[in-house]
Structure 1
Amino acid sequence: MSGFDNWEKLVQKQLKTDDIYAILQKENLENIEVKPYYQNNSETKILPKVEESTHLVAEYQDGLEEQAFAFLLNENVEGLEEKAIFINNQDLAEHILTKETNRYFSLIDVFSDDKKAEINEHLAGELLSKTFERQIGVDVSFHQNAGASIIQQLAFALTKSKELVEKFGSEILEKLVFRFAIGSNYFFEIAKIRAFKYLFNHLSKEFEKDLIPYIFAETSFRNKAKNDSDNNLIRSTLELASAMIGGSDAVFSNDYKIENQTKLSKEISFKQQIVLAYESIINVFEDATSGSYFVEDITQQFAEKSWKLLLEIEEKGGYLELLKSGEIQKMIFEQAVKEQSWVEEGKIKIIGVNLYPKLEKKKSVEELYNSNEIKAVRLAEMFE
């Protein structure tokens, strides 16, 4: 009898049942099989990132120049030297004055997110003419904030990449920054980043390349609440940890306050990253969870399910075609409403919203969601 069988018999004895999986396994929104324990003898490999050390990105404000080496800019700032600059505004991307001492990355997505369903070719041309290290953003953070599943997010990032290749050629793959929002399911979000590395590398090989994706990860708005900003801070800290451990090239913390944001709240939000990086150096390690049987297994499941969804989308005409027909919107709507129902039923617990204290429901699903629109909705809005 193997060690695994011995372990299983021991668990059966302690739980006093032969059907231990019915007790130990939990349902999840992604339909990913999570085992109570693992035996894995397969070989694993390190999944690299582009940057040697993850950039800790701050929203620019006076006084942070000495503390931050990477900034998210919505407007031009003069005098920055030896910084990584992430450009978050279309007008800024077109008119920014670059300096040789800085590194520049565009987070500007050239896809429309409505039923117009088109690529802004003029904007893409303007961005591609710039001397940035990466000129085009592929944004799936707004899909996450609208309630899309992890599998949907990964498939959308891939199919948008393929649309760009069809429009601009395979060289575009080396000029992309992928923008993900990181949710609250700690290990799943680590696996999401890792799975995308597998998937994008596989996609690039379809075009005779062998590429690593550049990943910009930010904290989600989806699980944040207006009334309990201290808990928002805890949630976003865990999200940042997932992003760093998963191997993101840059991380950014949105303000933990939904309302009444201040200069101090923005600074505290950024300094979460400082504490994580300098106290635990998790921004330096390359693929820290490689070899973890649990993380490797769910990474593989995400990769397989996302690639399958990608193929289904492509068979139906691709991302833009499904956006035009409303199918992308409907896919996200169905997933988002299911997640919202889990919050309403208490299957997903959000402290200060449906637990400690349990707030009263004030809005219906119909008021919050629209099957014809990709719309950012916070889960707590139902109770606010």
Structure 2
Amino acid sequence: MPNTESFTNWENLVKKQLKTEDIYTILNKDNLEGIEVKPMYNAVQEPLKNLPKVEESTHLVAAYHESLEEDVFAFLLEQNVENLQEKTIFINNKDLAEHISPEDTDQYFSLIDVFDEKAGIINEQLAKELLGKNFKRNICIDISLHQNAGAAIYQQLGIALAKTKELIELLGEGILNKILFRIAVGGNYFFEMAKLRAFKLVFNQLTKEYGADEIPYIFAETSWRNKAVADAENNLIRSTLELASAMIGGADAVYSNNYLVDKSTANSEEISFKQQIVLAYESIINVFEDASNGSYYVEDITRQIAEKAWDLFVEIEENGGYLEQLKQGVIQKEIYKHAVEEQKWVEEGKIKLIGVNLYPKLEVKKSADDLYSEKEIKAVRWAEMFE
């Protein structure tokens, strides 16, 4: 039971510090997700189920480099490498996947999305070829594109569920434990943490419709959306927070995209990966099942995101499903509306990017209309407006 007297004492303390009785107007903070955020919490509406990760410990994934073979246990592979033993391998190349036949002792995962977003179809032949491989997770549902294109959090999750439903209808419910979800994690620290937790809840709910009780395998990577070409070192801070959100939120694997947006060097690749190492081995946040479980704030926004995502999923299904909505241009238009509104917040300074719209070195060079199209889902960085 919440302690009313203690909460009142906190309110009085805040009023004293802010020198006003109207603390809730001052402390209220808007967000584009439509999530109600309270300035203070002393209870949670309903405790949420503690959903573990699929993996016991989060995989720290590096882009493959020969010099890393001895110390790194998980690689993202773009081309074939001989004699990689006792490693966890994430395949990111369709042509490469065709020529790999893992042994039973190997751990291979597919990051190849079988959805063709532009054509509005599933590549059924590719899906069946991947299912024929001895991979731990054969089918990737990639919603990192949607995050980088400016989709709201609940849109990303609703779309992930709708894409899952399309795959089940095509390939059968037996694929539920063969799917990997590739998700981009943005800079809204607690919201992104709640996003992964909420997705576990709604995916688990969907699997129960088919008599299963599955937890989603989540491959989380840092977003491109909030990265800038100028002041690239700030990108390191942003991506470190994103990796922390992913680990605390319960991702099974994490990967840091290169913090240098427009180029890549051996040094920048090493530094990008070592962000994960510091978090895992010095902060020790990659081993917990559900570290934020019990936090009133995170629990509350997790519940709200889960409810909004499920409602959107139901709406998509009632209107013909994801592929049909994609062909009609509905999905693209809804993402476009949110992305443009988000870009306006960047332009107005409501969303702050150090070195871009706060302490800037840049000025506005492009409008939102130059960056976005309501007919296409495409990745856009906020800072492109200024570059």
Name the structure 2 match of 1:235. 238
CA shift for structure 1 position 9 = 4.4
Question: 8 Å contact 2:75–2:90 — kept in the other structure?
Answer: yes
Amino acid of the structure 2 residue aligned with 1:200 = F
Q: Secondary structure at the match of 2:282?
A: helix
Find the partner of 1:194 among 193, 197, 200.
197
Q: Distance in 2 between matches of 1:260 and 1:169?
A: 42
Name the structure 2 match of 1:250. 253
2:75 counterpart of 1:71: yes
Alignment of 1:135-214 (within 5 A): 135-214=138-217
2:61 counterpart of 1:57: yes
2:23 counterpart of 1:20: yes
Q: Distance in 1 between matches of 2:125 and 2:65?
A: 31
Measured against aligned partners, the alpha-carbon deviations of 1:202-248 in whole angstroms (never above 9, x if no partner) come to 00001110011000000000000111110111111110010001000
2:284 counterpart of 1:309: no
CA shift for structure 1 position 17 = 4.2
Q: Distance in 1 between matches of 2:8 and 2:37?
A: 18
Name the structure 1 match of 2:384. 381
Name the structure 2 match of 1:112. 116
Find the partner of 1:102 among 99, 103, 106.
106
Q: Distance in 1 between matches of 2:48 and 2:312?
A: 25
Q: Size of the alignment, in residue pairs?
A: 383
Name the structure 2 match of 1:336. 339
Find the partner of 2:136 among 133, 140, 153.
133
Alignment of 1:270-289 (within 5 A): 270-289=273-292
Amino acid of the structure 2 residue aligned with 1:137 = C
Q: Distance in 2 between matches of 1:224 and 1:200?
A: 29
Question: 8 Å contact 1:223–1:379 — kept in the other structure?
Answer: yes
Name the structure 1 match of 2:94. 90
CA shift for structure 1 position 338 = 0.6
Amino acid of the structure 1 residue aligned with 2:28 = Q
Superposition RMSD on alpha carbons, in Å? 1.4
354-363 vs 336-345, which moves further:
354-363
Measured against aligned partners, the alpha-carbon deviations of 1:30-78 in whole angstroms (never above 9, x if no partner) come to 1111111112165444220000000000110110011210011111111
Q: Distance in 2 between matches of 1:7 and 1:273?
A: 37
Question: 8 Å contact 1:84–1:104 — kept in the other structure?
Answer: yes
In structure 1, runs of 5+ residues without a counterpart are none
Q: Secondary structure at the match of 2:68?
A: coil
Amino acid of the structure 1 residue aligned with 2:300 = D
Q: Distance in 1 between matches of 2:384 and 2:236?
A: 18
CA shift for structure 1 position 23 = 1.0
Amino acid of the structure 2 residue aligned with 1:315 = E
Question: 8 Å contact 1:349–1:355 — kept in the other structure?
Answer: yes
2:296 counterpart of 1:293: yes
CA shift for structure 1 position 267 = 1.2
38-47 vs 242-251, which moves further:
38-47
Question: 8 Å contact 2:103–2:134 — kept in the other structure?
Answer: no
Q: Secondary structure at the match of 2:151?
A: coil
Question: 8 Å contact 1:83–1:101 — kept in the other structure?
Answer: no
Q: Distance in 1 between matches of 2:142 and 2:187?
A: 19
Which 4+ stretches in 1 moved above 6 angstroms?
A: none
Find the partner of 1:367 among 357, 366, 370.
370
Q: Distance in 2 between matches of 1:130 and 1:105?
A: 10
Q: Secondary structure at the match of 1:280?
A: coil
Question: 8 Å contact 2:140–2:182 — kept in the other structure?
Answer: yes
TM-score by length of 1: 0.97
289-298 vs 361-370, which moves further:
361-370
2:35 counterpart of 1:32: yes
Q: Distance in 1 between matches of 2:103 and 2:278?
A: 30
2:324 counterpart of 1:321: yes
Amino acid of the structure 2 residue aligned with 1:74 = E
